[in-house]
Structure 1
Amino acid sequence: MPRTILIVDDDPHIRQLLVFAFGKAGLDTVEAGDGEAALAAVRTQQPDLVVLDINMPRMDGLEVCRRLRAQGDVPIFFLSSRDDEIDRVLGIELGADDYVVKPFSPREVVARSMAILRRTAGKPPAVEKAVTLRHGELMLDPDAWTATWRDTSVSLTVTEFTILRTLVSMPARIFSRDMIIDRLHGPGFAITDRTIDSHVRNLRRKFAEAGCADIVETRAGVGYRLGNCTGAAP
């Protein structure tokens, strides 16, 4: 079935450009001109992805993201009209999966959105259920996209889950930020190292709240490695 994209921007011209671009890619679209309309559309339309402008009147995209994250895990892709890294990093820390800065290429927005949707869908098992990944007290179910530490379920965004699954797949290996970006988006994809750092901070915060303070290790100047996942502070 076609996937549905909710496009949220107070500029009707931008919405029109994205509706056309997503339509060419075979995706259905729903539009919202402000934050309140976006929240209503998520409730009624249940989109597979929200493309969300940060700088909107009445209720900006950051507040919409906060409210959506309080309700569920629908993937969020930010459109940033501000050339200010703080806004974009804050968006990632609130739970967004990716972002682009205006002016942008509609084709790039579609390509990045398709990458998020592929990660959301996962790879269907050929014959049997995918192997559950375990390390210490951590358990990942790649089919259900669920993460559990001891008996506590930890709610992760698609990007956070993919990063954690990458680390769990080779727990002894140190992954550079570029290697993690390649796992998320494919080689040559341009996002900043600070974006990866923000996602890792989110992972640490969420697992610390569940009682696990050693989910990810930082190797200074190199990258990240899976922690012991025993709950002890590193």
Structure 2
Amino acid sequence: MRTVDVAKECGYSVQQVRDLERLGVIPPAVRADNGYRSYTPLHVRALRAYRGLAAAAGPVEARRLLAGLRTATITEAASAIDEVHAGLARERAEVVRAQRALERVRAEEDGRDEDSMTITQLAEALGVRSSTLRFWEEEGLVRPERVTTLRARRYGPAAIRAARVVVALRAGGYGIPALREVMGSLDGLDGAADARRVLRGRLDQLAARSVALLRAGSDLAAVVDATRGTPGPPE
């Protein structure tokens, strides 16, 4: 197969096929006497496997994994692919934990006329350190009020709700940059509801990534089999 044929089969450009070959995602093509590349159906399957892996785990991880599969033992290859599945399962479990935490936030707030709290009281209520609350304030995630001549922090109802949402999203695996973006889009009493919407969206994304990995399964198996001289499944 010519480079243009492989590109057409996989939905990549000719340059992308060459780049992915250079990066080790697919095996080196055989060079004809005239210098032109000659590819096989295995190259097509490797590129399809890369597309699914990139959608599931990101292009950097997909390149690393595909390049490693060519020299890995069957045990190592199976373990590497299983870890991608396990990583998606861990992310999903984190989001589900965050959803449950947000439901507890809603249950606690129903019918409550919440008073303000000191930093120590809020830290104890949330199960975090006071230094964590100060850090969240520095990052713009939670905004307490300043009262008295000592400028002591007081957390009103809005700040308390924001802190609870941050705790829930942190449990869902959100890092500070992502939290800053999410919290910036939340507004007052709707904060927890918006956070639930964000988490539902993340579950949908995880489902799409899992399906992409499943679609790549037979192509990944063909790549693993080919490196060991084992006949793979038919096209």
Instruction: Give the TM-score normalised by structure 1.
Output: 0.22
Structure with the higher fraction of residues in strand conformation: 1
Instruction: Give the TM-score normalised by structure 2.
Output: 0.22
Structure with the higher fraction of residues in helix conformation: 2
Could you say which structure has the greater relative contact order, defined with CA pairs below 8 angstroms and 6 or more residues apart?
2
